[in-house]
Structure 1
Amino acid sequence: MDTEALRLFVLAAEKLNISAAGRDLGLAPAVSSARLAKLETTLGADLLHRSTRKVSLSLEGAEFLPFAREIIAQEEAALAALGKGEAEASGTLRFTAPSTFAQLYIAPILPKFVERHPGVTLDLRLSDTPYDLIEGSFDLALRNMALESSSLKGRKLADDTRILCASPEYLERSGTPLHPDDLTSHRLLAFKDSAARTLAGPYGDTGLFDPAEGQGQMIMDDGLSQKIATLNGAGISINSIWSVHNELTDGSLIHVLPGWRLKQQTALWLVYPKANVLSSKVRVFMDFLLEEVRKSEAWRRF
């Protein structure tokens, strides 16, 4: 199969513009159109819908796109094994991560990555509601959970320890709980749902963080908004240490029940589809994140 035509198709699918994709590969518009048409004839499927104003992926094109990316990655890996691969990582890398983590730890270091690897275009999807890697054709994702799918592989970035926090003003007004049983008299902020969370104590004992049993509920699906509400005295919330490290340091948030932590701890993983051969662009971005993010004091304090 013509891998250069596959590269053209992948670029056209990402840019939704055949001429722009061709320019990236040094091809004239007419040559680009002809090459894609030949690929579609070879496959016996229309990969792209074309009109005078726009280009869009067909259903067959959307299904074929991850396989096209995989074929290209396989070729890159084979050439690299022979010492004939590209010296510099290049191409579009689709990456997804929780928005709160991305704002604090990823967005600030992106200029450094772009400077190191100018040939890589980062296509980022940042949301606290996770995207499906396979359906979304993502190359890499950050997940704060254990690997739950056999179709994924990954590298651990750091532990994701979660603790209870509140503002000094809230605790002064409402009192400081000394045991999880005291939480029933407090306002508890819930993340995404109001399900009870089990807390692990210092001596093997357990307690509950149960918003339904607290004095009023507030449920949010955005981690940054929950932290802001907590900072402004809305109540007690569960937060990852990486999310509230700066506030714990400057005293604008207080670690509540410091001997207790969320029992079901998770970890931050950089994951990718198991079937994928790691292309150079994915490998360098993963190595970059592991190196830069781990420099934070958040992993060494509290």
Structure 2
Amino acid sequence: MNLARLEVFVNVCATGSFTRAADHLAITKSAASQHVAALERELGVQLLHRSTRRLTLTEAGTTLRDEARALLEQAQRLAERTRHQSAQLSGVLRLTSAEDTASWVAPVVAEYVRRHPGMHVEYRPSDRLLDLVAEGMDLSLRTTGRRDSSLRAVNLAVFDVWSVASPEYLHERGTPRRLADMASHAWIAFTPIPHPWTLQTRDGKESVRLQRTVSTSSTAGGRALALAGLGIYAAPRFVLEAEVAAGRLVRVLPNVKLPQVTLYAAWPGQGEPPKKTREFIELAKARRGSSF
């Protein structure tokens, strides 16, 4: 049954006039009359006795008026609840990122849950690139990895890359003073990057070919190897800054600007992400310029 027709009928009953009902609903008198006539055809009964002076309800019309009024009130309450639920997110957001990105992602998760207490976040840090559809994930945050054509992605943040080494390593091997000095140093390589790797400045004006001593498939592993004094290592700032602040690692060539890395968010499908996912993405974008 068409709710719009019921609304017109109830308003005609309340005002006793097609003209007044039409004015109240901001439609024409002709449209109001057509709605009621269509409702009568749909139900197969006459609802109103029409005369030149007034409208009166039939027995069927009286029954329908009372039931329709209650139905329209229920529909209004349902619409209000739906709008409220839309404004107040609820449900589960399933999120993944590389393990070394967790320190950057965690404050975003905390702020998301604070703003949306009805949401539960299932966060799965993993250095394995998960199949988002097969694993039932809503969102993936990555700085590296092959882009999947079945996913949509958006850039979230750009990070500086730092090169670091342990104080013990630098005491033993010396501290590089210029980029070319890196060629004679032990290098901790990142396995996904082809070897040998050419390290160049952000503007591309200087470069040096590096020789690996040891390699690792994770930035957390590279950080641990650097702490053990095995060589110089480069990674996004957020992976290294706590160790640098504590003095356990030392920045190498801090004035040399290395190429940056981009953190991007990817979600299944080719359309816009659901609201729960979009809200997290917007908070992650805001994380670039705020510590919350």
Relative to the length of structure 1, the TM-score reads: 0.59
Q: Which has the larger radius of gyration?
A: 2
Aligned match of 1:205: 206
Q: Structure 1 residues 90 and 122 mapped into 2: Cα distance closer, same or farther (>3 Å)?
A: same
Cα deviations across residues 183-232 of structure 1 (Å, max 9, x unaligned)?
Answer: 34322212235722222236713212231xxxxx2222232232133134
Aligned match of 1:241: 237
Aligned match of 1:289: 284
- SS of match in other structure, 1:155: strand
1:272 to 267, 270, 277: 267
Q: Aligned equivalents of 1:163 and 1:147: distance in 2? A: 23
Aligned match of 2:101: 101
Alpha-carbon shift at residue 175 of structure 1 (Å): 0.8
Give 2:187's aligned amino acid. L
Alpha-carbon shift at residue 240 of structure 1 (Å): 0.8
Q: Structure 1 residues 131 and 262 mapped into 2: Cα distance closer, same or farther (>3 Å)?
A: farther
Q: Aligned equivalents of 1:209 and 1:224: distance in 2? A: 20
Q: Aligned equivalents of 1:138 and 1:287: distance in 2? A: 18
Give 2:90's aligned amino acid. S
Cα deviations across residues 114-147 of structure 1 (Å, max 9, x unaligned)?
Answer: 2332322222221123223333332111011498
- Specify every segment of 5 or more residues in structure 1 that has no aligned partner in the other structure, as ranges: 1-78, 212-216, 298-302
Q: Aligned equivalents of 2:204 and 2:196: distance in 1? A: 21
Q: Aligned equivalents of 1:220 and 1:124: distance in 2? A: 24
Alpha-carbon shift at residue 165 of structure 1 (Å): 1.0
Q: Structure 1 residues 260 and 208 mapped into 2: Cα distance closer, same or farther (>3 Å)?
A: farther
Q: Aligned equivalents of 2:285 and 2:253: distance in 1? A: 31
Q: Does residue 91 of structure 1 match 2:91?
A: yes
Q: Aligned equivalents of 1:258 and 1:292: distance in 2? A: 24
- Specify every segment of 5 or more residues in structure 2 that has no aligned partner in the other structure, as ranges: 1-78
Would you say the 8 A contact 2:179–2:206 is kept in 1?
A: no
Q: Aligned equivalents of 2:131 and 2:163: distance in 1? A: 29
Q: Aligned equivalents of 1:134 and 1:246: distance in 2? A: 34
Alpha-carbon shift at residue 259 of structure 1 (Å): 5.0
Q: Aligned equivalents of 1:178 and 1:290: distance in 2? A: 36
Alpha-carbon shift at residue 89 of structure 1 (Å): 1.2
Q: Does residue 116 of structure 1 match 2:111?
A: no
Would you say the 8 A contact 1:167–1:231 is kept in 2?
A: yes
Alpha-carbon shift at residue 97 of structure 1 (Å): 0.5
Q: Aligned equivalents of 1:86 and 1:257: distance in 2? A: 51
Q: Does residue 224 of structure 1 match 2:220?
A: yes
Aligned match of 2:151: 152
What number of residue pairs does the alignment pair up?
211
Would you say the 8 A contact 2:150–2:269 is kept in 1?
A: yes
- SS of match in other structure, 2:158: strand
Alignment of 1:162-201 (within 5 A): 162-192=161-191, 195-201=195-201
